Structure 1
């Protein structure tokens, strides 16, 4: 479980740097999405072929269908999200998009049969307040438009994405991510062709950041992300997922010299604190269980000693 959390959090920090890398690419958002999935798919296909691993998909057609659905949903979610970026700006689009994890938390008792305890509820509220504090200033300056609808649809498709990801039971590793990314690539490619006709990318000025975004941020990042969420509860995935926009904010401050206001710092503390609080119930439960276990061992030891005394 610790390994899964480490992979998941690493993936979130990798995804948090997407905006930094993309700022060096002089292409529109749809072209960037298409190229990152194309390069990541080629990279993972080469790795998979070189590893000479036996395909698990051929024996698990149900998983294959879920992975295709996952890839299509990922592509649609990215399309909605980037359209929201263009319409209402990054801050308001991000704030809207990250209503998706809240939807997951609310649905988890019904879809995944996971308990919804007070720690998760209060932690989610604190996290959402933190998101408003970190993005609220820019959001207040952005005019509401039809782009808000794109943001809401991006959030809804995000929640559907997690549901599909949790349904895959057998297929794992590189093959899991490869099928998902190829399905995503086809979805984005069809949309891009409809929107602006046949597409021939110009990579002469963008080759290094595009390769980095495709191989590291998409290929390796998605491998870590999707292999981890299979092992974690949907609630944990949703709650810890807020570390991605937080890391994007921190990277912007560190690497792009964007200054954080006092309110944004408080918001960042709320996001981290809310996530830790929401997940703390597991450790409290484990601690109580271990204490109870120790008490039982002491009680058993006392009873054994008493029995020996009586026998003597």
Structure 2
């Protein structure tokens, strides 16, 4: 059971990401744009993490070297901000089902980048699991080519979203060699908040932000599918390979689909059920063999 815990934490973190629609829909009803909702998410998360640090974890708030901020520019700007910008741009260019499919090319990006930069082995299990997750996401999204146009910009930004989504795992792996999950989560959202505040100019909607319901949605968004989700995902990531974590994290669209069925009365088709089974099967395949040694102990992988 102890060996399974990191895998369960990765799945739990991804599952919490899957319920984000609850809060996004709520804030959308109050007139906030997608990027403003992202800004609310990272600002609330940063404030919560700063408060937790000030009260309980002051030692973990310190950076060993200021040059280490490069890790968090990676997780905060190149991942969180870049991923959201690309994803929302793709949705504006093409239908959401195609955007979701392009987003979930992320396990393929993680597997390739982990092989190139983290010296992870490229096994047959991983290759099969990557293809299985992509097929599963295609089926869950219910791709119908006739429902919308496909644009060059949409494809590029969609793949950019997949890359940005993948980069959190890659940059976090390097950061985990020097810092604990709390520190990584904290600086990821502090950096992302600093980047997004001037871009979104949320202060222009201060009256909306003071609404009680908006505050509740904002706090929920910042706490549950953000602080908690990223923290436990990063904790699990510390113990297992990044490529495996990325594949396990594709349970997110399964959870999101089930949420739509249970709470919003959406219909779950036979094809979507098959897609969910492809994803769950891929998660099982990638976990068929367990490593006893964590990635941080791999020979030749060192951060100064």
Please tell me the TM-score bracket, short chain as reference. 0.7 to 0.9
The answer to whether 1:213 aligns with 2:221 is yes
Structure 1 residue 85 corresponds to structure 2 residue 87:
no
Structure (1 or 2) with the greater helix fraction = 1
The answer to which of 114-123 and 28-37 deviates more is: 114-123
Matching residue within 126, 129, 134 for 1:128: 134
1: distance between equivalents of 2:67 and 2:145? 42
Report if the CA contact (8 A) 1:63-1:167 is conserved.
no
Which segments of 5 or more consecutive residues in structure 2 lack a partner in the other structure?
294-304
Counterparts of 1:83 and 1:96, CA distance in 2: 12
TM-score in terms of structure 1 length: 0.83
The answer for the alignment partner of 2:44 in structure 1 is 39
Please state if 1:53 is matched with 2:58: yes
- How do 1:58-207 and structure 2 match up within 5 A? 58-73=63-78, 74-138=80-144, 140-145=146-151, 146-168=153-175, 169-193=177-201, 199-201=204-206, 202-203=208-209, 204=211, 205-207=213-215
Aligned to 1:277: 285
SS of 1:280's partner is: coil
Answer with 1 or 2: which has the greater Rg. Answer: 1
Measured in 2, the distance between the counterparts of 1:140 and 1:128 equals 20
1:50 deviation in Å?
A: 0.8
Aligned residues: 282
1:162 is paired with a residue whose SS is helix
1:182/1:199 Cα in 2 relative to 1: closer, same or farther (>3 Å)?
farther
Counterpart for residue 5 of structure 2 = 3
Give the match for residue 21 of structure 2: 19
Contact 1:57 1:64 in 2 (8 A): no
Is this contact kept in 1: 2:113–2:170, CA < 8 A?
Answer: no
Q: TM-score if structure 2 supplies the norm length?
A: 0.85
Matched, 1:263 2:271: yes
CA drift of 1:138 comes to: 4.9
Deviating beyond 4 angstroms after TM superposition, the runs of 4 or more aligned structure 1 residues are: none
Q: Show structure 1 runs of 5+ residues with no match.
A: 287-312
- Change in 2 beyond 3 A, CA 1:11/1:139: farther
Deviation at 1:99, TM superposition (A): 0.8
**1:247 Cα offset (Å):** 1.1
In structure 1, the residue matched to 2:297 is none
Per-residue CA deviation, residues 72-95 of structure 1 (Å, 9 max, x unaligned), is 112111111122223323321111
Task: State the superposition RMSD in angstroms.
Answer: 2.2
CA distance in 2, matches of 1:139, 1:40: 37
Q: Is the 8 A contact 1:71 1:184 kept in 2?
A: yes
| Contact 1:60–1:170 (Cα < 8 Å) also in 2 | no
Q: Distance in 1 between matches of 2:83 and 2:26?
A: 23
- Greater shift in the superposed pair: 73-82 or 198-207: 198-207
Taking structure 1 as reference, are residues 150 and 224 closer, same or farther at Cα in structure 2, changes over 3 Å only?
same
Q: Quote the offset at 1:198 in angstroms.
A: 5.8
SS class of match (1:54): helix
